[in-house]
Amino acid sequence: MTERRPRSVVVTGGGRGIGAALARAYAAPGVTLLLIGRDRDGLTAVATDCMARGATAKIAALDVTDHASLAATLIGFDADFPVDVLIANAGVSGGLEPGRRAETFETAQRQLRVNLEGAVATVTPLIEPMRARRSGRIVLMSSLAALQPIGDTAAYSASKAGILVWGQALGDFLAPDGVGVSVVCPGFVTSDMSQRYGGPKPFEMSADAAAELIRRKVARGKELIAFPWPMVAAIRLGRLLPRPLLRKILARVPVEIAPDRHA
| Dihedral (CA of 117, 223, 6, 89) sign | positive
Question: Tens digit of pLDDT per residue, the chain (263 long)?
Answer: 456 789 999 999 999 999 999 999 999 999 999 999 999 999 999 999 999 999 999 999 999 999 999 999 999 999 999 999 999 999 999 888 888 899 999 999 999 999 999 999 999 999 999 999 999 999 999 999 999 998 889 999 999 999 999 999 999 999 999 999 999 999 999 866 656 565 667 778 999 999 999 999 999 999 999 999 998 999 998 888 888 888 887 777 666 666 565 55
Structural fold of domain 8-257: Rossmann fold (3.40.50)
What does the domain layout of the chain look like in residue ranges?
8-257
Q: Checking DSSP bridges between strand 137-141 and strand 197-198, what pairing results, if any? A: unpaired
What type of residue sits at position 204? E
